[in-house]
Amino acid sequence: MNIVNSNLSKRLGEEIGAIFQQLGFEPEFGQVVRATKPEFGDFQCNGALACAKKNGKNPRELASEIGILLANNPILTKVEVAGPGFLNLFLSDTAISNRANEIAQDERKGARLVENPLKVIVDYAGPNVAKSMHVGHLRATIIGDSLKRLFRFRGDQVWGDAHFGDWGFQMGLLIATLSIEHPDLPYFDENFDGEYPKESPVTLADLERIYPEAASRAKTDENYRNIARRATAELQNGRKGYRALWQHFVNVSREALKREFSALGVEFDLWLGESDADKFIPDMIEDLEHKKLLVEDQGAKVVFVHDKMVPAKDGGERPNVPPLLVVSSEGSAMYGTTDLATIVQRKKEYDADLVLYCVDQRQGEHFESVFRASDLAGYLRRDQLEHIGFGTMNGNDGKPFKTREGGVLKLHDLIQMVREKAAVKLNEAGVATDLPEEERAQIGDMVGMAALKFADLQNFRGTSYVFDLDKFLSFEGKTGPYLLYACVRIKAILRKADEQGVKTGKIEIQEMQERDLVLILDGFENALNGAYEKRAPHILADHAYALAGAFSSFYANCPIMSSTGETRESRLALAKTTLGQLEIALDLLGIKAPERM
């Protein structure tokens, strides 16, 4: 059953807003927030101060007038005017009990759907052919996956796209090296007209060896560089053997990447690569030419996207946003070309209303150029394209996390490290010691992934954070394992109730801790809306942690199974409701809780 009633803060805000409007002022002044201390009530409205300042009124007199008009509101027991004009609002136990029962009966546990659903593409992870993912891909993957889940839960039609890096010069480098190392392969015989082998001539390990060697060689060997350039051009022009070989590269890389993503509990709806946008480039360039947006600049063709000039380091001036390079001086397409063509594709094939790019914030200037070019060309507007930038995961030295040898840590190795450490932590904490070995291993994986993901998502994405696995894996404090333990504790209570034949009943609020817990449950919609509007999963992470903490206080002060009658049934229902909302919140963060520990 889906209950669509508004949460308490929204209801109060609307009612106080109507009073402001009745008095001739804007209803927006009626917004309420949770009170910071119990003595200030359950909610506060500070709108009288801003309204009075804007309209030349006495704020305390205005607040008193509003308080009088609120006096008979059935969900309030008391309205206080405090300080220079704050309104302290005290809710009745009946109102809180009624709201608790609404949430309990709601399959979405108090979460509403957006009124106007959008078609949204979330571009995240950014894996590449021939390259293992490293820790730098972790944040893009975790943040993007959470946003995809959040937008879908809110009611939008959402596609998660890995945006596979499978085109360009790097493919030419791989083909060139193989043509030198294995010239007898049929892919290099232009006269070959048979069936190409179904088995790949290379493994992922081969590709990971070849690519860095080839990239390094291309920097100093001009002849080799030219071979790779020709191979790139012939691949993009459709040479049959090269396309078949390229498909092997893609398949081998993609299968390995899918295993890594599966370990993280991450899936994609689309595995579109840069190659999929290639077919849109010729018409797009022609369109840009027709619209007189493509300008010759030092032998290349660019789209100027700046709106003003700013001082340059040399004392002159430069555009505040660099131009988008569309066609190089050699006549080839560039990264910006592909990115712009991908926008064209997303508009034509998916009719996207919004595209979110979860990419390192250091790429901000590049995306600004691409987005402005799209706007100028009439593809997707600037406000339909968002760069969801993020900071780095750092070591104790404050620099991007590295291996002990100083190299970039592969994501596979990081996941393995987390799994092994999680198993150690379970043993140290004496958790799940009586369970079968296979189940303990599964719990260890869940604990490890919860630790890794929550440690990332509890931070505002724009900030960097220090990788501290011991801290992340603690069952105490603001951590993923702490939240899993809260879920498992409630599940154990519900199992015990089921064994004893105890049913849930109507929720009736009696104690302060019950009241506090319901008010946290009631704030779920606000947390979801904040995370959605700001593209900020940490707001949802904060809510999950606050909910687990409120339940812990409730559990310690309000006995459930040792109570009797309607009190026991009410508290059991409140525990079950808390579990339902907490599991939804964790799922939106990409975290799954075990049944027991």
Q: Would you kindly state where each structural domain of the chain is located, as residue ranges?
A: 8-91, 169-263, 411-588
pTM: 0.94
Structure tokens at 528: 């979801």
CATH superfamily of 8-91: Arginyl tRNA synthetase N-terminal domain (3.30.1360.70)
- CA 399 vs. chain centroid, Å, equals 23
Closest Cα partner for 389 from 298, 462, 460, 301? 462
pLDDT for 332? 76
Percent of the chain residues topping a pLDDT of 70:
99
Place of tokens 């001082």: 311
Helix, strand or coil, per DSSP, at residue 264: coil
220's tokens: 């100093």
pLDDT value for 582: 98
Q: Mean pLDDT, to the nearest integer, of 251-266?
A: 91
Mean pLDDT of the chain: 94
Tell whether the model's pLDDT for residue 286 goes beyond 70: yes
Q: Let me know: does 475 contact 429? Beta carbons within 8 Å.
A: yes
pLDDT of residue 439: 94
Judged by DSSP in three states, 231 sits in helix
Q: How far apart are CA 412 and CA 576, in angstroms?
A: 37
CA–CA gap between residue 575 and residue 569 (Å, rounded): 10
- Average pLDDT of the segment spanning 281-309: 95
What's the rounded mean pLDDT across residues 440-469? 95
pLDDT of 3 over the 60 cut: no
More confident residue, 384 or 136: 384
pLDDT of residue 2: 44
Q: Read off the pLDDT of each residue in 214-238 and give the average, rounded to a whole number.
A: 93
Q: Would you state the pLDDT for residue 401?
A: 84
Q: What share of the chain is helix, strand, coil (3-state, %, to 5)?
A: 55, 10, 35
Please indicate whether the domains covering 8-91 and 411-588 agree at the CATH topology level. Answer: no
pLDDT of residue 494: 98
Q: Residue type for 276, please?
A: D
Position 400 confidence tier, pLDDT thresholds 50, 70, 90: confident
- Calculate the CA dihedral of residues 551, 554, 555, 560 and round it to 10 degrees: -120
Q: What is the pLDDT of residue 315?
A: 86
| Cβ contact 545:133 at 8 Å | no
Decide if pLDDT at 76 tops 90: yes
CA angle 550, 555, 561 (to 5 degrees): 150
For the chain, the distance separating the N- and C-terminal CA atoms, rounded to the nearest angstrom, is: 31
Q: Would you say 44 and 87 are in contact if contact means Cβ atoms under 8 Å apart?
A: yes
The pLDDT confidence band at residue 172, using thresholds 50, 70 and 90, is: very high
d(CA 141, CA 176): 31
Distance CA(85)–CA(45), nearest Å, equals: 9
pLDDT value, residue 28: 96
State the pLDDT at residue 432: 85
Whole-angstrom distance, CA of residue 379 vs CA of residue 283: 13
Average pLDDT in the 56-77 region?
94
Arch. (CATH architecture) of 411-588: Orthogonal Bundle (1.10)
Stretch 283-292: mean pLDDT, rounded?
97
Closest CA to 544 of 485, 597, 596: 485
Confidence of residue 1 (pLDDT cuts 50, 70, 90): very low
Q: What is the pLDDT of residues 411-422, one digit of tens each?
A: 888 999 999 999
On the question of pLDDT at 237 being above 60, the answer is yes
pLDDT higher than threshold 50 for residue 107: yes
Q: Which residue has the tokens 């009586």?
A: 434
Instruction: Write down the H helix ranges in 500-558.
Output: 512-522, 524-534, 537-557
- Can you tell me the mean pLDDT for 92-118? 97
